[in-house]
């Protein structure tokens, strides 16, 4: 059989246009049909390439004819698109009616996390006692976390097993996730001359994990330095604070302790508000009826020297409290890990 001439092929293409577009059932099929005619591999593109087979006199009129068929394809596409739109609309109108008077669904409102609620309350109390608020970075140099605070070089906290060290650029620049907010008291003293009276909240990180220890937890550091600060100021501030947070009847206890950066050093406990001392198996107080909430003391002269304060002239106190532990006591939570499991049923009940 003789091969179709370009003109015969073009006529055949033109005859198929309307039928092809009428058969398209959705936008996707419409795109495919259009490509079959006018795409890079489409029949009109292919037939155009056959122009050299025609005698010179016929080429111009053939080109015009191809353009006419292209116009026909465009018109057929517009008609089919309009048909699909009205079919979709008719289907929508025939479907079940939407009752626009029904009330909408309320988006569920989030709440501030109990740790942050406690922290905000604590900051309010210290602000009312005249303290400023400052923050520092969570990643810091070991110098600020340990050295300037008078930690001896072989202190266990500097061990990789206790702290999260990060890769650093030079071996002498040891960088870690801070293990306490005491880094910020160092930074505050390096950047401000005395007097200072400031609290410094933030997240801290240790390799800890049990009912009262979390690997990431929150501390609030406090620092007050002036010429005549005494241990009595420290006790007065902490007691005023705890009475404001837990009420005037809360039982607290102040006992001697050791931190390299204070002398004398102390820790403060709050009575276990989970078992009130009645459960020897209590996981929070471990049957002692007390929960340690902070470490504190008078700033060691070594620290003043390392930040350039005159230890002969200035005295000061510092404390670092565990916000998560205070949150547990405040809301009666028996395991610190509940605070980080993100169960909205539990968090929403507090
Ligand atoms: C310190 O971190 C000292 N920097 C506190 C300090 C500051 C002392 C200024 C003197 C002067 P300590 O490691 O004891 O101390 O932690 C302080 C408080 O953080 C604890 O009393 C406890 O309430 C809380 N805490 C400690 N480890 C954890 C943990 N893994 N999870 C939750 N809370 C913790």
pLDDT in tens, 226-271: 999 999 999 999 999 999 999 999 999 999 999 999 999 999 999 9
- What radius of gyration do the chain's Cα atoms show? 39
pLDDT in tens, 202-217: 999 999 888 889 999 9
Averaged pLDDT for residues 60-72: 94
78 lies in the same domain as 121: no
Interval between CA 12 and ligand 1 midpoint (Å): 87
> How large a percentage of the chain has pLDDT more than 90?
77
40 lies in the same domain as 138: no
| Residue at 106 is within a domain | no
CB of 150 sitting under 6 A from ligand 1: no
* Residue-level pLDDT at 1: 56
Choosing from 59, 94, 129, the residue where a domain stops is: 94
**Residue 156: pLDDT band by 50, 70, 90 thresholds?**
confident
CB of 270 sitting under 6 A from ligand 1: no
Interval between CA 79 and ligand 1 midpoint (Å): 75
Least confident of 17-31, 99-113, 129-143: 99-113
- CATH number of the domain bearing residue 225: 3.30.930.10
60 lies in the same domain as 121: no
Interval between CA 93 and ligand 1 midpoint (Å): 66
Q: Which of 294, 299, 315, 329 to mutate to test the pocket of ligand 1 (most atoms within 8 A of CB)?
A: 294
75 lies in the same domain as 157: no
Interval between CA 118 and ligand 1 midpoint (Å): 17
| Residue at 236 is within a domain | yes
| Residue at 109 is within a domain | no
86 lies in the same domain as 199: no
140 lies in the same domain as 265: yes
Q: What range defines the domain where residue 303 resides? A: 114-348
Reported pTM:
0.72
CB distance 291 to 268 below 8 Å: no
* Residue-level pLDDT at 65: 94
Pairwise CA distance, residues 9 & 15, whole Å: 10
| Residue at 99 is within a domain | no
Spatial strand order in the sheet of 139-141: 139-141, 175-177, 165-166
CB of 269 sitting under 6 A from ligand 1: no
69 lies in the same domain as 20: yes
Q: Which of 119, 149, 219 to mutate to test the pocket of ligand 1 (most atoms within 8 A of CB)?
A: 219
188 lies in the same domain as 334: yes
CB of 259 sitting under 6 A from ligand 1: yes
CB distance 297 to 266 below 8 Å: yes
| Residue at 107 is within a domain | no
- The two tokens of residue 265 are 């050093």
206 lies in the same domain as 275: yes
CB of 208 sitting under 6 A from ligand 1: yes
Choosing from 41, 63, 94, the residue where a domain stops is: 94
Interval between CA 320 and ligand 1 midpoint (Å): 6
- The two tokens of residue 165 are 């060290």
88 lies in the same domain as 149: no
Interval between CA 345 and ligand 1 midpoint (Å): 29
CB distance 323 to 181 below 8 Å: no
Q: Which of 153, 194, 136, 165 lies closest to 320 in space, CA to CA?
A: 136
Q: In sequence order, what E strands does 119-188 have?
A: 132-133, 139-141, 165-166, 175-177
* Residue-level pLDDT at 348: 86
90 lies in the same domain as 119: no
| Residue at 56 is within a domain | yes
Q: Whose CA is nearest to atom 32 of ligand 1?
A: 213
| Residue at 103 is within a domain | no
Choosing from 66, 94, 122, the residue where a domain stops is: 94
| Residue at 90 is within a domain | yes
| Number of folded domains that form the chain | 2
10 lies in the same domain as 79: yes
CB of 293 sitting under 6 A from ligand 1: yes
**Residue 172: pLDDT band by 50, 70, 90 thresholds?**
confident
* Residue-level pLDDT at 161: 67
Q: Which residues of 1-14 are buried (b: 16+ CB within 10 A; e: fewer)?
A: eeeeebbeebeebb
């Amino acid at each position: 059989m003789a091969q179709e001439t370009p003109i015969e092929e073009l006529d055949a293409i033109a005859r198929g246009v309307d039928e092809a577009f009428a058969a398209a059932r959705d936008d996707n099929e419409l795109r495919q049909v259009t490509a079959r005619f006018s795409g890079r591999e489409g029949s009109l593109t292919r037939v155009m390439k056959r122009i050299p087979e025609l005698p010179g006199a016929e080429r111009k009129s053939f080109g015009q004819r191809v353009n006419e068929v292209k116009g026909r394809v465009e018109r057929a596409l517009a008609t089919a698109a309009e048909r699909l739109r009205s079919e979709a609309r008719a289907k929508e109108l025939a479907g079940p009616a939407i009752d626009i008077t029904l009330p909408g669904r309320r988006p569920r409102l989030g709440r501030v996390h109990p740790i942050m609620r406690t922290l905000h309350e604590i900051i309010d109390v210290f602000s009312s006692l005249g303290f400023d608020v400052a923050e520092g970075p969570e990643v810091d140099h070991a110098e600020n976390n340990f050295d300037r605070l008078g930690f001896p070089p072989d202190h266990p906290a500097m061990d990789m097993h206790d702290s999260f060290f990060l890769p650093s650029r030079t071996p002498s620049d040891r960088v870690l996730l801070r293990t306490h907010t005491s880094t910020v008291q160092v930074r505050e003293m390096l950047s401000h001359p005395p007097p200072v009276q400031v609290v410094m909240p933030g997240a801290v990180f240790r390799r800890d994990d049990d009912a009262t220890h979390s690997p990431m937890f929150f501390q609030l550091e406090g620092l007050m330095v002036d010429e005549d600060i005494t241990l009595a100021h420290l006790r007065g501030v902490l007691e005023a604070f705890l009475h404001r947070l837990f009420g005037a009847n809360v039982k607290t206890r102040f006992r001697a302790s050791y931190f390299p950066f204070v002398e004398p050093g102390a820790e403060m406990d709050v009575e276990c508000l989970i078992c009130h001392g009645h459960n020897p198996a209590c996981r929070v107080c471990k049957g002692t009826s007390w929960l340690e909430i902070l470490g504190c003391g008078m700033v060691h002269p070594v620290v003043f020297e390392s930040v350039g304060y005159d230890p002969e002239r200035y005295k000061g106190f510092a404390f670092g409290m565990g916000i998560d532990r205070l949150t547990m006591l405040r809301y009666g939570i028996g395991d610190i890990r509940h605070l980080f499991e993100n169960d909205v049923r539990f968090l929403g009940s507090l």
